[in-house]
Amino acid sequence: MSRTVIDLDARATVLDAAERLTEAPPDGDVALVVAAGAPLLRNAVFLDVLRGLVGPRRLSIVTADARARSVASSAHVPAYASLAALERRELDPTERLTPARRAAIATMRTAEAPRVTTGRVLGVIGSLLGATLVLLAVVLPEARVVVAPTVLPIGPVEVEVRAGGSGEIGATVLTAQITARLPITAGGQRVVETRATGILRLRNKTTSDVDVPRGSVFSTAGGVQFLSTEERSVPRSVIVPGTSFELFVGQVDVPVEAAVAGDPGNVGAGTVVNGPRPDRYTVTNDAPMTGGQITRIPVMRAEDYDAALVFNVLLEHSPGQNTELLRRVARALNPGGVVVILDLLRGRLMGSAARAVASLEGLSVFVGTGGQAYAFDDVAGWLRVAGFARPRRIGLLRSPGLGLAVATKVN
């Protein structure tokens, strides 16, 4: 009968041996030649797992470690000191024939198939019944919720306003719409850099926990690097004994971000495969890394302002405060820039109704803020002191009392 010989070094673990066994031919005996001190030979449970993997084939251990051969015998796995001894089917003559070795020699046989007991059958039936009850509890209940909107009238709110002591001035509805568009090109820009982010999955290749410090470097095959943003620990891989041994590979998800901002960090799924500890765990990203970009936002510079709007501001301040405010506006504008003021302006008004409305608005400002409505000549004087030239007034026929004052900054 043919035999497959597999060599394992002193660092071999049960995971390494299991991987080599799965790659071995499916027929013929298997002999594992293991160097002394290998972690594989430290526990009989590891050998039980390997014996289960080979199935009906004969598994033998060849090692110079006498203690390891005793462990193999306790797991009913024949152990030999050399390949020559294996060929002669001879156990190590220098080893003492302990009771454990006698039992191993007498009981070497393939593992019996697990028996189906009444308790196991009842347990399976109980599990199926419980799952059915849970499914019925989730699916059967039904409730209908109907949400109907309720309409509640709000407003309009009516306020009675009387002009004059006995209300001899009739009410007039006044509306005004002011629309203006000033195209301005921003000369500066602000750069916002964003790094791509994502999740890496690490799978433990050993039977020990592995720490992953914050800032660990991972990369793609092309050299695009990512840094872990949180500290993690990869749990150990374990073997659970029972009727059939199961191998549970420890794994953990690690959040990472690209080392550099922008589009280079936007890589596809399965491309981040390199890590700082390739001998301890494997690395992959199940989903793409996304979000990396560099955005340039236009920003206005001081020299970009060609127009300034000062609406409903002057009436709330004193003449000295208004003069200083217009000086600051002039400093922010380019030479030749225009300032547009919209405010209550006393002066030329049309009709008694317009004069009454303007007086009421001025009184309201005085009571509310202590301000007042200024004449256009006052505003024109402040503009000249602040550095503006050619102030002019534009009347608003549909808004009595309100007016526009426009001036240009001198060079």
Q: Rounded to an integer, what distance in angstroms lies between the CA atom of residue 406 and that of residue 88?
A: 113
Do 329 and 399 lie in one domain? The reply is: yes
Q: Is 80 helix (H, G, I), strand (E, B) or coil?
A: strand
What secondary structure letter does DSSP report for 314? G
Predicted confidence band of residue 262 (pLDDT cuts 50, 70, 90): very high
Cα 388 to Cα 405: distance, rounded to the nearest angstrom:
12
Contact 213, 199 (CB under 8 A): no
Longest Cα–Cα distance in the chain: 132
User: Quick check: is 136 in a domain?
Assistant: no
**Which of 297, 315, 339 is the C-terminal boundary of a domain?**
297
What CATH number is given to the structural domain containing 371?
3.40.50.150
Q: 327 with 399, same domain?
A: yes
Answer yes or no: do 383 and 321 share one domain: yes
In the predicted structure, residue 167 carries a pLDDT above the cut 80: no
pTM: 0.37
Q: Residue 117 falls within a domain, yes or no?
A: no
44 torsion bin: left (phi>0), alpha (psi -120 to 50), beta (else): alpha
Give, to the nearest 10 degrees, the angle between helix 319-332 and helix 376-386: 50
Mean pLDDT, rounded, of the chain: 81
CB distance 312 to 225 below 8 Å: no
* End-of-domain residue from the set 87, 107, 127: 107
* Angle of CA points 230, 236, 242, to nearest 5°: 145
Report pLDDT for 380: 92
Instruction: For residues 292 and 274, state if they share a domain.
Output: yes
Tokens linked to 133: 């009850």
User: How many structural domains comprise the chain?
Assistant: 3
CA–CA distance, 217 with 208 (Å, rounded to integer)? 21
pLDDT at 225 over 50: yes
Do 292 and 337 lie in one domain? The reply is: no
Looking at the structure, do residues 330 and 248 belong to the same domain, yes or no?
Answer: no
| Domain identity same for 251 and 312 | no
CATH number, domain at 264? 2.40.30
Confidence at residue 93, expressed as pLDDT on a 0 to 100 scale: 47
Residues 402, 311 share a domain:
yes
User: Is the residue at 199 inside a domain?
Assistant: yes
**pLDDT category, 57, cuts 50, 70, 90?**
confident
Give the pLDDT confidence of 100-123 residue by residue, as tens digits. 555 545 544 444 445 556 766 677
Residue 153 lies inside a defined structural domain of this protein: no
Task: Give, in order, the Cα–Cα distances in Å from 224 to each of 194, 228, 275, 287, 332.
Answer: 15, 14, 12, 16, 46
| DSSP codes of every residue in 34-76 | E-TT-GGGG-HHHHHHHHHHHTTS-EEEE-S-HHHHHHHHHTT
Q: Which domain holds residue 272?
A: 191-297
**Eight-class DSSP state of 112:** P
The answer to whether position 120 is within a domain reads: no
- 379/362 same-domain check: yes
Contact 246, 240 (CB under 8 A): yes
Do residues 387 and 358 both lie within one domain?
yes
Amino acid at 386: A
Question: Is 181 a domain residue?
Answer: no
Cis status of the peptide bond prior to 156, with omega within 30 of 0: yes
pLDDT at residue 202 is higher than 90: yes
Domain end call among 107, 135, 158: 107
One domain for residues 88 and 10: yes
| 338 domain residue, yes or no | yes
pLDDT at 219 over 80: yes
5-30 tens-digit pLDDT: 899 998 888 888 888 888 888 888 88
Altogether, the residues listed in the chain come to a count of 411
Asked whether 274 and 283 are in contact (CB, 8 A), the reply is: yes
179-190 pLDDT per residue, tens? 766 666 777 788
User: Do 286 and 317 belong to one domain?
Assistant: no
Phi and psi angles of residue 78, each rounded to the nearest 5 degrees, phi first:
-60, 135
Handedness of CA 60, 61, 67, 71 (dihedral sign): negative
Asked whether residue 132 is assigned to any structural domain, the reply reads no
